[in-house]
Structure 1
Amino acid sequence: MNRRKLLSFLGITALLGSTGFAWAAITRSRNPYYQGPITENFDGLRFSDGRTVNKGLLDVLKWQTSKRQREAFPARYPAPPQDKPPARVESLRVVHLGHASFLYQVAGLNLLVDPVYAERASPFSFAGPRRVNAPGVAFADLPKIDVVLVTHNHYDHLDLGTLAALHQRDQPRMIMPLGNDTIVKARNPEIRAEAHDWNTKLALSDAVSIILAPTYHWSARGAFDRRMALWCSFVIETPSGRLFHIGDTGYHDGSLYERIGAEYGPFRLAALPIGAYEPRWFMGDNHMNPEEAVKVMLALRAEQALGHHWGTFQLTDEGVERPPEALKLTLAAAGLPEERFRPMRPGLSWEA
């Protein structure tokens, strides 16, 4: 394996949970992040979303060493100009920061989801997926953040450096699924991190509340902590309508999103991942492709969808522009207008 392939392999395996953060899990037989009662989605050691997904390090090796149809990202993929959000918004304004990071400004509340300002989505400074464009809002231009939501602990969603910087600046409340608070507080015990199970409803203000919703994914920060912290999506209830934010998910049979659409829909807005999906034999369990994302939008009965998780970090084999191209074709085939499901670039905003 040449140096470039080796660095790519190190970065991908780090992202997928195949190299070293959870050393504590080697020396303990128990979950290093969470100890709690056995429930429908927790067996006492690991969390589950009800599926049987068995891909592991051998499958990563197979993918990385096989003859691949990989289209490399450019070194730079310029984004629109950086956005400068207002201090507060009483209606609804959403701006994409890049990859899966969003700023929601609604009913006077400033809410960040999966904020990642790191140069690499990796535990390493020298290897791993490197961003090809700047964040859509400069950190100094972020308004005061009231609440941070984290969907799961993969490095492209949980960036400890960014969370520490936000705590130092704003001391926001940070809400995440079970076990992730332990990871965050290991960086700084003073961070206001709290963790909850699926279907927990929390008030963020007098006007805004959230529900941690199930999703088809998994978690890991290292080789020995697979599924030891929970993952989720978020239903956000606001005066401007219900919003749904997925950080990562597979499609599976689509029944989960039919149920969520029936219970919580219709949604004013859904932020859905459309990238990191090739090769399908490996990625299909945990990452949707654009065709599946459109099905999820319709199942949720979402009036508007915003596509993310593409165009910033190369995590998989498809080229940088393939997700929006595939999304455009899927919408046309379904007879849906392009503006119904916008593929977001860093710095682009949407307002209700």
Structure 2
Amino acid sequence: MAAGKRAANRYYSGPPSDHFDGALFFNPDGKPPGRFADLLKWQLNGGRSKWPAAHPSPYPQAKPDRRVEGKMLRLIMVGHASLLVQTAGLNILIDPVWSERASPLAFAGPKRVNAPGIAFSDLPPLDLVLVSHNHYDHLDLATLRRLKRSHDPLVVTPLGNDAIIGSAVPGIRLTAHDWGDRIEVGNGAAIHIEPAHHWSARGARDRRMALWAGFVIETAGGKVYFAGDTGFHGGTNYRLMAEKHGGFRLAILPIGAYEPRWFMAPQHQNPEEAVQGMKLCNAAHAAGCHWGTFQLTDEPIDEPAQRLAEALAAEGFSHERFRAMRPGEVWDVPSA
């Protein structure tokens, strides 16, 4: 039975673990994605807010420096969950999406309401691309093809996603890893692959065949935690990160795509949970992502930033400690 299950997974084959049953990946002591009937119930509930067709960022498109050296840490928001991290002489791009839609279709699906915060032609030389999982708002093959041609970066991704990327982008430099792995990347830096509470699919028949993850970027200037797409999951993974890494100079945390809670809570945290996550993982500063570019769920476009501000005020934190990042915004993150 186990061998038959493994053969059915088109992306990955390997031994069972505490998050892989021999056929599919899962969230330990967690919850799977909702059923198709639940999806239909949500789509038909009439609770979806109307987003504007265009919602320009208050920031102009950024023009990054070629390199940021030493312990300086610069974060630039591209949009949604796409961000550029510059530190220790490295340029690291996370979940890059420059396409107009987060969709398998060019003519349908969530369409961006603001331009990327960096024009593609203005990207600095890229060393690494981190791809957290295979949902279309995070793994954009069209963008990866462009990056291969223009920059030829090393792509680091969780298990199984290499099969998707490698078959679509021949010759791309690619490495795939499990939760808990650590990869040396030069300049005294390393990437850790860490757990997230989420799921994966590119279509209706490949659910949970590829792994999802967060990343920790370790450099001489401190550690940066990108939580990926994640449900709060009782704070389990945040506590694990604090125990393993001690704390973070910066945590990049999702704050959007959370309504309705009865359907989204296991997979997408809300702003209040993000603030608790910042506390639990012991992050000196945090940047909010996964909001304001692609409408994926029901909440109004500006609600994540508003609720984040309220949650910070309730905890007595400055809004400068946890920024809801907008495309083009550049943040030189203070030392921890």
User: What's the TM-score bracket when you normalise by the shorter of the two chains?
Assistant: over 0.9
Q: Is residue 2:134 matched to residue 1:156?
A: no
Native 8 Å contact 1:103 1:110 kept in 2: yes
1:199-251 CA-partner distances (Å, limit 9, x unpaired) = 00001113211100001000000001110000000011111111100221001
Q: 2:31 and 2:103 mapped to 1: Cα distance?
A: 26
The count of corresponding residues between Structure 1 and Structure 2 is: 324
Structure 2 runs not aligned, ≥5 long: 1-5
Q: Is residue 2:50 matched to residue 1:72?
A: yes
Native 8 Å contact 2:32 2:199 kept in 1: no
1:174-199 CA-partner distances (Å, limit 9, x unpaired) = 00000000000111221112111000
CA RMSD of aligned residues (A): 1.1
Greater alpha carbon shift after TM alignment, 274-283 vs 246-255: 246-255
Q: Is residue 2:19 matched to residue 1:38?
A: no
AA aligned opposite 1:267? F
Q: Is residue 2:329 matched to residue 1:351?
A: no
AA aligned opposite 2:242? G
Q: 2:120 and 2:324 mapped to 1: Cα distance?
A: 23
Any idea what SS the aligned residue of 2:310 has? helix
Question: Structure 2 vs 1, CA of residues 255 and 129 (structure 1 numbering), >3 Å: closer, same or farther?
Answer: same
Any idea what SS the aligned residue of 1:97 has? strand
Q: How many angstroms does 1:29 deviate by?
A: 5.4
Q: Which residue of 2 aligns with 1:88?
A: 67
1:75-106 CA-partner distances (Å, limit 9, x unpaired) = 10011100000001102211010000010111
Q: Is residue 2:120 matched to residue 1:136?
A: no
Q: How many angstroms does 1:139 deviate by?
A: 0.2
Greater alpha carbon shift after TM alignment, 262-271 vs 138-147: 262-271
Q: 1:271 and 1:218 mapped to 2: Cα distance?
A: 19
Match of 2:88 among 107, 126, 129: 107
Native 8 Å contact 2:19 2:27 kept in 1: yes
Q: Which residue of 1 aligns with 2:3?
A: none
Q: Is residue 2:27 matched to residue 1:49?
A: yes
Native 8 Å contact 1:265 1:302 kept in 2: no
Question: Structure 2 vs 1, CA of residues 124 and 54 (structure 1 numbering), >3 Å: closer, same or farther?
Answer: closer
Q: How many angstroms does 1:336 deviate by?
A: 1.1
Native 8 Å contact 1:307 1:341 kept in 2: yes
Q: Which residue of 2 aligns with 1:341?
A: 322
Q: 1:183 and 1:54 mapped to 2: Cα distance?
A: 21
1:1-352 mapped onto 2 (5 Å cutoff): 30-50=8-28, 51-53=30-32, 55-66=34-45, 68-79=46-57, 80-90=59-69, 91-352=72-333
Native 8 Å contact 1:178 1:195 kept in 2: yes
Native 8 Å contact 1:157 1:247 kept in 2: no
Q: How many angstroms does 1:54 deviate by?
A: 5.1
Any idea what SS the aligned residue of 1:55 has? coil
AA aligned opposite 1:85? P
Q: 2:169 and 2:225 mapped to 1: Cα distance?
A: 29
Q: Percent identity?
A: 54
Give the TM-score normalised by structure 1.
0.90
AA aligned opposite 1:342? R
AA aligned opposite 1:276? A
Q: 1:206 and 1:107 mapped to 2: Cα distance?
A: 7
Q: 1:181 and 1:53 mapped to 2: Cα distance?
A: 22
Any idea what SS the aligned residue of 2:157 has? strand
Runs of 4+ in structure 1 off by over 2 angstroms are: none
Native 8 Å contact 1:242 1:265 kept in 2: no
Structure 1 runs not aligned, ≥5 long: 1-27
Question: Structure 2 vs 1, CA of residues 345 and 178 (structure 1 numbering), >3 Å: closer, same or farther?
Answer: same
Any idea what SS the aligned residue of 2:231 has? coil
Greater alpha carbon shift after TM alignment, 260-269 vs 303-312: 260-269
Native 8 Å contact 2:33 2:199 kept in 1: no
Question: Structure 2 vs 1, CA of residues 120 and 54 (structure 1 numbering), >3 Å: closer, same or farther?
Answer: closer
Q: 2:244 and 2:228 mapped to 1: Cα distance?
A: 20
AA aligned opposite 2:67? R
Q: 1:323 and 1:46 mapped to 2: Cα distance?
A: 32
Native 8 Å contact 1:276 1:309 kept in 2: yes
